[in-house]
Structure 1
């Protein structure tokens, strides 16, 4: 077999392959064997039909077609390996010349990873938000804790904002009560926005025993996305009472004995959260700065596939859970379809570029992933997915996704290398020290940027 590579552009090549007929013999024999097992000819046992009889009965062309279908993937892979190509996705193959007992010629056009030159990134400098915990931050944190420990007591008055009402609901669409549109004894805090649009206005001012009807778009269930007429019956009104801010509250809500100790712990906790946010911000800004330094062409087909993947996942997986369609989603986002498409394309392009440049950096720095690092990453992914580590690991193995997880960890380590060499200062001009534990966060930053790019990229030979 002979092959030649023609570069069509920085991200696409054409392979020209010539295969002598004798190299097709193994596939030709396999084709006769396969057809032998599938057909019956009177006078011959199944599987024992001579090749000449198969040619007479079913045509030599059918055998040759079966042989070529079997042989093409193998010869294509050989040509890819011979050309040392890093291909993306599936090729477009065209048989240019073939006759019985003569040479097979075909071409294969396929996207390839572009050659990337990693520049000196030691001069990258980024500015991030300073870690500052204000009095307002502390008070908001304490107030959220008070809300969690609020108590309720029945009152004989009209319901007001902040009260808890116990309600029975009945949703009707086109004059028919929905089977899954009836609920009884539902507790709802007025103003929380955690139930149906319009319910706050409907129940405010009602006493126990009162009823109202309002129209609302259903967010889930059998009639998701449709407008329903909802009847609400208030069976009880309860006032929420927040605990006093004192040492007794500190003992109730935490392991601390005094309110002062609880406040001090809140400061530490808020500082940790802001440091985490600061580290994430640093990683994102360093990544953006790195991408600015590198010229990275993006394969058109790969970009198109990823855009379609992202939109498909949104439409078929997220919309049903949120009770949305394209019209309501775009209205909520305040964007036109064209604006949203442009935004998704830009995100997809960044994801592809990130994967390309970090993969190249992994290779350049000779970074590897050990079992402990992979296990830690797997456990984090399991936690974010809501699955147990064992369940997530089984799903990963069964889905053949282990290489993807290894890639995520390796890219995280590559980005950590760049972040480590960058100068990071906060808005006060102080240099920020990002310690070793931030490497875990780099994997998450990379994962968020490149996750779907791997799906769109498809199989690599």
Structure 2
């Protein structure tokens, strides 16, 4: 019966496409169309119509979880006979869980004090510095030198080795090693030959390990003029009226950032331990799909910087497949960890409640500065909603790992530079130490 309905649908879809002698276009009876185009064409179209629903029913009936498109072979497709097909399917692998409760982990919290506050203030001072053009003076570290240069290897110019009015941050290691150091001490208008050797691992293989001579002219010199750290500075860069208020806010946010970093590190360690204890044979297609997602994310970050993946690959001198392979081990670990968390959720009979889903809608709405109804509507799409539920479920599993773990806290000395996770109020970034809410990034309608 289902096959007959599919054949009738196929007939209605195909008949308007053919001009059959003796009939107006689209008006030929089905048996005439079948004679004209062949039963293989008609029934082939019917199979394309019928297969998705029949395949879905078979998957549902067998309770398997496919992770890739099936390879389908039609076994029987004839009028008056049952429709029979074979489907070769790659399914989600079985997970043999090991121990995942009671892990002993150390929560290392970076100590924050006045040194970190002062360092952060210096970074703010540097970030909001004003660039001043100098009519005279010598190139110093951290200056911006506007230069013309011509590079030669064995006396010959080489592609990409020349530029005019190039703004170079002196000491930023953004050029060939040893280049900016030799700029220091040069004066505006001065010309000089700078000799360098390209690193053996330089991205452009044709230049790697070769000596080059650059003829450089300093055309302009710019230097940062720092504002004094006082109440006026605090007013200019934040919502605070005094420097002491700004310092207090930085102090609080650095402590929050340190706490957030420590919590994330604990979660990552617990996930790693649980994943290491689980035995899984991961299908290659799942790893390939995860690599695809990682590359998409990487391309997105490049796009935000004004680059394409092709431009980036050209700059580092790598083919796409070679670059893709660099993600493989990370992708494999990510898939292994996710399958482990899913298996724990199943073992613990965890589910996402309507209340938890509504609470997540509220969080996303607050983060995106939108009303809850619009967020809920934007995420009502089946795949999006299931993706959100899946994310909430995995978060619940991680929370369980944390609850069941034996965690000891340890204060550790901070490095000279605190991680730049954020800016304070009135600036950019996030010093709250919160996990990035990836769920909130795909709410656009």
| Structure 2 partner of 1:324 | 312
Moved more, 394-403 or 59-68: 394-403
By how many angstroms is 1:26 displaced? Answer: 0.6
State yes or no: 1:60 paired with 2:39.
yes
Count of matched residue pairs: 394
Question: Which residue is equivalent to 1:209?
Answer: 189
Q: Residues 42 and 151 (structure 1 numbering): CA distance in 2 closer, same or farther, change over 3 Å?
A: closer
Is it true that 1:192 corresponds to 2:172 in the alignment? yes
Give the alignment of 1:162-173 within 5 angstroms: 162-166=142-146
From 370, 386, 402, the counterpart of 1:403? 386
* CA distance in structure 1 between the partners assigned to 2:195 and 2:72 by the alignment: 57
| Structure 1 position 131, deviation (Å) | 3.1
Q: CA deviation at 1:289?
A: 2.0
User: What is the TM-score of this pair, normalised by structure 1?
Assistant: 0.67
Mark the CA change 1:149 to 1:316 in structure 2 (over 3 Å): closer, same or farther: closer
2:108 to 129, 145, 152: 129
Which residue of 61, 72, 75 corresponds with 2:54? 75
Q: CA deviation at 1:373?
A: 0.9
- 1:311: how far off? 5.3
Are the counterparts in 1 of residues 186 and 218 from structure 2 also a CA contact under 8 Å?
A: yes
| Uncovered stretches (5+) of structure 2, i.e. residues with no partner | 197-203, 413-431
Q: Which residue of 2 aligns with 1:236?
A: 220
Q: Would you say 1:374 and 2:361 are equivalent positions?
A: yes
Which one of the candidate residues 252, 275, 280 is aligned to 2:264? 280
Pairwise mapping of residues 298-377 of structure 1 onto structure 2 (< 5 A)?
298-307=282-291, 310=294, 318=302, 320=308, 323-325=311-313, 328=316, 341=325, 344-362=327-345, 364-368=349-353, 369-377=356-364
Task: For 1:398 and 1:188, locate their aligned partners in 2 and report how far apart those are by CA, in whole Å.
Answer: 49
Structure 1 Cα separation of the partners of residues 386 and 214 of structure 2 = 50
1:202 and 1:390 map into 2 onto residues whose CA distance is 61
Superimposed CA distance per residue, residues 226-269 of structure 1 (whole angstroms, 9 cap, x where no aligned partner): 9999987644334445455667766766636456x655544333
Are residues 239 and 282 of structure 1, via their aligned partners in 2, closer, same or farther at CA, if it must alter by over 3 Å? Answer: same
Task: Say which is worse superposed, 128-137 or 283-292, in terms of deviation.
Answer: 128-137
Q: Distance in 2 between matches of 1:442 and 1:412?
A: 13
The corresponding residue for 1:441 is 435
**CA RMSD, aligned part only?**
5.0
**Matches of 1:253 and 1:313 in 2, distance apart?**
32
The TM-score normalised by the length of structure 2 is 0.69
Alpha-carbon separation, structure 2, partners of 1:375 and 1:329: 45
CA distance in 2, matches of 1:401, 1:213: 59
Cα deviation digits, residues 115-134 of structure 1 (max 9, x gap): 44767744122113233125
Q: What CA deviation, in whole Å up to 9, does each residue of 1:370-408 have, x standing for no partner? A: 23413524765x69xxx9x99999997899644323432
Q: Deviation at 1:58?
A: 2.0
Distance in 1, Cα, partners of 2:332 & 2:66: 18
Contact persistence 1:413–1:442 (CA under 8 A): no
Call closer, same or farther: CA 1:131–1:317 in 2, change over 3 Å. Answer: closer
Contact 1:130 1:427 in 2 (8 A): yes
Name stretches of at least 5 consecutive residues in structure 1 with no aligned partner.
Answer: 1-21, 217-223, 430-437, 452-461
* SS in structure 2 of the partner of residue 412 of structure 1: helix
> Residues 412 and 439 of structure 1 are in contact (CA less than 8 Å); yes or no, is this contact kept in structure 2?
no
Query: How far apart are the structure 1 equivalents of 2:128 and 2:436?
Result: 36
Are the counterparts in 2 of residues 118 and 357 from structure 1 also a CA contact under 8 Å?
Answer: yes
Decide whether the 8 Å contact of 1:411 with 1:443 is kept in 2.
no
Do the aligned partners of residues 246 and 45 (structure 1) sit closer, same or farther apart at CA in structure 2, a change above 3 Å counting? Answer: closer
